[in-house]
Amino acid sequence: MEYLRGNVHKTPVITSQTTNEKTGKNVYMKLENHQKTGAFKYRGASYKLSKLTPAQLEAGVVTASAGNHAQGVALAAKKLNATATIFMPEGTPSAKVEATKGYGAAVKLVGASFQEAFTASLEHKKLTGATYVHPFDDYDIMAGQGSIGIEMLEEIPELDTIIVPIGGGGLISGIAVAAKMIKPSIKIIGVQAANAPSMFKSYYTKDDHVVLNSCSTIAEGIAVKQPGELTQQAVRQYVDEIYCVSESQIAYAMVYLLERTKSLVEGAGATALAALLAFNDKIDSEHTGVIVSGGNLDLSKMGEIQALALQANHKTITREQITVL
């Protein structure tokens, strides 16, 4: 982890008197939207690449991503003078393509969907011998993300709960393992979008083969149809509870963070706070950590998000409602 201390930002933790009064808790928000590349993903990518041999770095790295992982891998590779090749679907917004290129990666636009880009990236790996950097289902990736939990407990040792967004599960797996090694009594609560509840279903049904038919959500950073094989085992072992939040609850949290903390946050980054606001009465905590995982938001969608936020009713979504979806 020493490599990370010198290469990633120790992101700020902020409090909000309004949020404390609203919840009756001491709430500490870890702002990973202030991380390099605007999201936590740079931590895992940096740690993963730091573990590669000189020969592996010489052969380069490859991944498929249309989001924050792409930029994290690109910058991590640039820092180590390694070649990064990122496969993205043809419809990826040009801003994300240009940002990834800006960090020095070669971007290949392939296919109409992520699956086609993913397949092409595996073919590239076979042809070139490049190391594949998975966005979540990798122990080094998880360990890198776990540095967030270490930083939080170093700064706020009295934390009794940390609420974490879940997509594929790399972030929460890393934080849960690291935090519980330091403080075994701490509770780790995961959050998914109700429209993309793959890990939620895996966790409560113990089904190792959950694959969603669709997962359309404004929290596109956690829209994952199938949990990782490694991450779902870690989540079952170390995570205490998982909640789901609605689209309007996520939008409300995004607007709330902008208004109350002046933080611009993407949908995935707002889900942990959305869960705290929606499930506050069920969360038995005095000192509550909230992971704000990223801030790479398409500003053209802000009007749509504001309109959606007005529909938020903060009714909790039950486990039964999700498992029948």
- The catalytic site residues sit at 41, 293
Alpha helix ranges (H) inside 63-112: 68-79, 94-102
Cβ 147 vs Cβ 4: under 8 Å: yes
> Is 169 within 8 Å of 252 (Cβ atoms)?
no
**221 within 8 A of 266, measured Cβ to Cβ:** yes
Question: Which among 234, 224, 312 is positioned nearest to 268, based on CA atoms?
Answer: 224
Distance CA 265, CA 92 (A): 20
* CA atoms lying within 13 Å on the CB side of residue 3: 17
Pairwise CA distance, residues 272 & 45, whole Å = 22
Helices 302-309 and 247-261 meet at what angle, rounded to 10?
A: 110
Sheet with 61-64, edge to edge strand ranges: 106-109, 84-88, 61-64, 131-132
